[in-house]
């Protein structure tokens, strides 16, 4: 008898999960264009949640993570293969990379996304401690 109760309980949990998932997807579909605009235009957007406590906790964790990243040095360097195409500048979500006197420079606001490293068409950006055998690549569906 207890096995049947467990199976029924599990079935109800799966059904509830599927309903919540469908509701989340419907919510996303209705806001998809708004989310795309926020990302494309690099707009700041507040965290969203139904719970004040979760919002507060998420904000605190996020702020701590960002401050930790800001305090870390960017360990990138540029070799002679750089063609100054500025792709790295364009993909940096923090606008942290600039071309100064014909040389790439990082402004110490790196969030370590590695976009510059992955998207450099010549592989000219590397880690200062690199052994030269790290793989690179990015999702070819993202342009």
pLDDT band at 128 (very low <50, low <70, confident <90, very high): confident
Query: What's the CA gap between 99 and 86, in Å, rounded?
Result: 8
Question: CB-based burial of residue 111 (10 Å sphere; 0-12 exposed, 13-18 middle, 19+ buried)?
Answer: middle
In the predicted model, what is the mean pLDDT of residues 32-44? 81
Question: In 10 A of CB 92, how many CB atoms?
Answer: 20
What is the predicted pLDDT for the residue at 4? 46
Give the Cα separation of 64 and 85 in Å (integer). Answer: 34
For the ranges 35-39, 79-83, 139-143, the lowest mean pLDDT is seen at 139-143
Q: What is the mean pLDDT of residues 57-61?
A: 82
The pTM for the full model equals 0.50
More confident residue, 101 or 24: 101
- Integer CA distances (angstroms), 11 to 5, 20, 22, 25, in order: 10, 14, 17, 21
In the numeric block, which tokens belong to residue 123? 């592989």
| Average pLDDT rounded to a whole number, residues 92-106 | 90
């Amino acid at each position: 008898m207890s096995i049947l109760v467990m199976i029924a309980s599990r079935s109800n949990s799966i059904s509830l999960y599927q309903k919540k998932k469908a509701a989340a997807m419907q919510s996303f579909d209705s806001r998809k264009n708004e989310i795309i605009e926020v990302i494309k235009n690099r707009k700041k957007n507040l965290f969203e949640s139904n719970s004040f406590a979760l919002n507060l906790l998420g904000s605190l964790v996020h702020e701590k993570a960002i401050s930790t990243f800001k305090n870390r040095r960017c360990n990138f360097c540029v070799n002679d293969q750089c063609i100054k195409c500025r792709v790295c500048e364009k993909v940096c979500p923090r606008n942290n990379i600039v071309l100064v006197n014909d040389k790439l420079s990082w402004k110490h606001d790196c969030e370590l996304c590695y976009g510059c490293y992955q998207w450099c068409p010549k592989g000219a950006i590397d880690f200062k401690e690199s052994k030269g055998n790290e793989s690179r690549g990015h999702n070819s569906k993202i342009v």
